[in-house]
Structures are given as C-alpha cells and as structure tokens.
Chains A and B, each alone.
Chain A
Amino acid sequence: NAGVMQNPRHLVRRRGQEARLRCSPMKGHSHVYWYRQLPEEGLKFMVYLQKENIIDESGMPKERFSAEFPKEGPSILRIQQVVRGDSAAYFCASSSDLRASYEQYFGPGTRLTVT
C-alpha cells in the first residue's frame, strides 16, 4: 500500500494524558501536512513540515501541540495534557517535491476521543 498511513486509527485518552499521532507519507513524498476536523466543522490546517523542518505552523494552537518530521521515521503530532475540546479527527496529508504538483493526498485519519 503506497498511500498515506496513519496510526492509530482510533485513540482514547483521559483528560490530562498525552496523545501521539503518527503519519507516514506516501512513497516519494517528503511534504507532510496535519489537519484537524472537529465534529460538524470543516478541515482546518495545523502545520506543514518537510524532513526535519517546520515550514508553516500558523494553524497550531500555541500551547500543548507540537509536531515533528524527523530524518528517519514518521511525522508525529503530539498533544500534551489533552482536554475534551481536542476530541476530533486528525488527518495527515502528503505531497511530492515536484513544483508542478501541489496535490495533497490524505491518510485515513486518527479519531481522538478525550474522556
């Protein structure tokens, strides 16, 4: 399967715990984007990363949220001290290096539930 992979698909955390969401981009893609979709709301951009670099984090909440895309391994979105309002679907997308292609392909998402 050469598509974008995310895990876990479902994650339940109690308030105050940490959530770690992982994303492996499509083969040949080195650009990773994270989006959040709250129930009955649209997709909201969070952060854009390339290997070892954060390119745009303008959509990231200022506290508790962080993201990385190390040289080796998947991209990680980390949410510390989760609150009920963090319950949402978190999607990762990837795109290629080619300037001609800005098309982003989405993974299946991680559904986070905070109890």
Chain B
Amino acid sequence: QKEVEQNSGPLSVPEGAIASLNCTYSDRGSQSFFWYRQYSGKSPELIMSIYSNGDKEDGRFTAQLNKASQYVSLLIRDSQPSDSATYLCAAQGGKLIFGQGTELSVKP
C-alpha cells in the first residue's frame, strides 16, 4: 500500500516564526511532490510543487525534497495568522496520494 505520512498536529507557532511541516512517502517510484493548503470547508489549493532533490523557494514558502530519505518538507517563513490551515502533502507516481494533513495554527 503506497502511503504518505504526515504529523496530524495541530502545529502551533507564533506570528512571525518559521513553521516546519514534514512528510514521508513509501513509494520510491514517486516522481512529483506537492503541497496543498486547505482552509476549513474549502477545497485544496496548490502552493508548491517539487520534482528534484534540493530546495525550491517561492516567496515565504520553501519546499525541500530528499528522495534518498523519501522525505518532503515545507517551511513557511514569517508565518501569518492567515497561514492557519491544514497542509496536505501529496506524492505522485501515477495518481496523487495524499497524506492526512497537518493542521497549522499561527497565533497573533
């Protein structure tokens, strides 16, 4: 069974801090990895995609991929209360397999 594992949280950080979200995956054949943000009652919104080992930065977000360790992470710098949401990690080796999501709470 191909799986994607995330800590369910909740992860609570103060405003302005760095939030670190982690994810591991079981299928070594996965080639593409994604982070989605989902506000309560809303649909998932794609915020980052990463395909090769290393870091990828986009504004306050940095995705990190280590295929040898089967590990993906998302760093959110200067966290804002509006970042409070559930963050879903997804791995693709064919279809998208989602983790359970990590709930992030940014306290003012």
Residues of A whose CB lies within 8 Å of any CB of B are 33, 35, 41-45, 48, 56, 58-59, 91, 93, 102-109
Contact = CB atoms under 8 A, between A and B. Distances in A.
Contacts of B34: 103-104
A43 B32 contact: no
16 contacts: A33-B95, A33-B96, A42-B98, A43-B44, A43-B88, A45-B95, A45-B96, A45-B98, A56-B95, A59-B95, A102-B32, A102-B92, A103-B34, A103-B49, A106-B44, A107-B43
B46 A105 contact: yes
Given A33-B95, A59-B95, A104 B46 contact: yes
Q: What 4 pairs between A and B have smallest CB-CB spacing? A: A43-B98, A106-B43, A42-B100, A102-B32
Label chain B's interface by main secondary structure.
strand
A45 B2 CA distance: 12
A113 to B, nearest CB: 14
A108 B95 contact: no
Contacts, number: 44
Given A45-B95, A93-B96, A108-B42, 10 more contacts: A33-B95, A42-B88, A43-B88, A43-B98, A44-B98, A105-B46, A106-B43, A106-B44, A106-B46, A107-B43
A108 B44 CA distance: 8
Among the interface residues A35, A41, A43, A109, which one has the most CB atoms of the partner chain B within 10 A?
A43
Nearest to A100: B51
B98 to A, nearest CB: 4
A41 B88 CA distance: 11
Contacts of B100: 41-42
A106 B45 contact: yes
A12 to B, nearest CB: 17
Among the interface residues A33, A41, A93, A107, which one has the most CB atoms of the partner chain B within 10 A?
A93
